[in-house]
Amino acid sequence: MNMLIHIVDDEPDIIQLVSIHLKKAGFAVHGFPEGGSFLRSLATERPALVILDLMLPDMDGFEICKVLKTDERYADIPVIMLTARGDEADKVEGLEIGADDYMTKPFSPRELVARVHSVLRRAGNLGGALNVGHGIVIEPDRFEVTVDGVCVNLTTVEFKILYLLASNRGRVLTRERILDHLWGNEKAVLDRTVDVHIKNIRAKLKEAGTIIKNVRGVGYKLQP
């Protein structure tokens, strides 16, 4: 069965263009002209990835992304924002709330398909389970983090950052290294994006979040 991609965009021409190229690449596609019908569809149809416009007739794309990333049922679904809003502030906001990639219109359909492949590879490119101390257990196969047996709801990006730090316990990772792990050289994002994700991870881990240490002027490390 082909992997299913959901496209949420109020421009029929965009849905058609993206659909044609994704289908040629071997994906199944379902398009939605507004956010409400897309969110309702999740009850019966789970996509492998979502391509999301920001300017929709009924909802703001940022709000839709927040709904996905704060719901434990859908937080692990990767999101690529595809929008005419190219301001750096919009890009940073999108990445900070958990989007896995951000592309601006006009765009190259071939590049978008390449980004889809890249995001899906990164989403599945994790190793085995890790017990990192402070009661924290990371289960990449289930995309799950628990603290003392209680599940912690992390976004896709937050999970990847925590897993990267846990896989390099005791080693200091620069912000650039973390950004490269998340997005490679596909885009330029501000270093403070990493700081926001780290802050969110610590808050969700509560007292166990003290395991993540800030090395001033360098980056972060997970100290067992």
pLDDT, mean of residues 128-143: 83
Higher per-residue confidence, 194 vs 192: 194
Task: Dump pLDDT digits (tens) for 59-98.
Answer: 999 999 999 988 888 888 999 999 998 888 888 888 888 8
In this predicted structure, the answer to whether residue 189 has a pLDDT above a threshold of 80 is no
Average pLDDT of the chain is: 88
Task: Report the first-to-last Cα separation within the chain, whole angstroms.
Answer: 42
pTM of the model: 0.67
Q: Which fold has domain 4-124?
A: Rossmann fold (3.40.50)
- Which one is the CATH code of 130-222: 1.20.1250.20, 1.10.3720.10, 1.20.140.10, 1.10.10.10? 1.10.10.10
Task: Dump pLDDT digits (tens) for 20-69.
Answer: 999 999 899 999 999 999 999 998 899 999 999 999 999 999 999 999 98
In this predicted structure, the answer to whether residue 122 has a pLDDT above a threshold of 80 is no
CA 179 to chain centre: 12
- Given a contact cutoff of 8 angstroms between Cβ atoms, the answer to whether 27 and 56 are in contact is no
Angstrom distances, CA of residue 181 to CA of 89, 174, 191, 194: 22, 11, 13, 11
**Where in the chain are all domains bearing CATH 3.40.50.2300?**
4-124
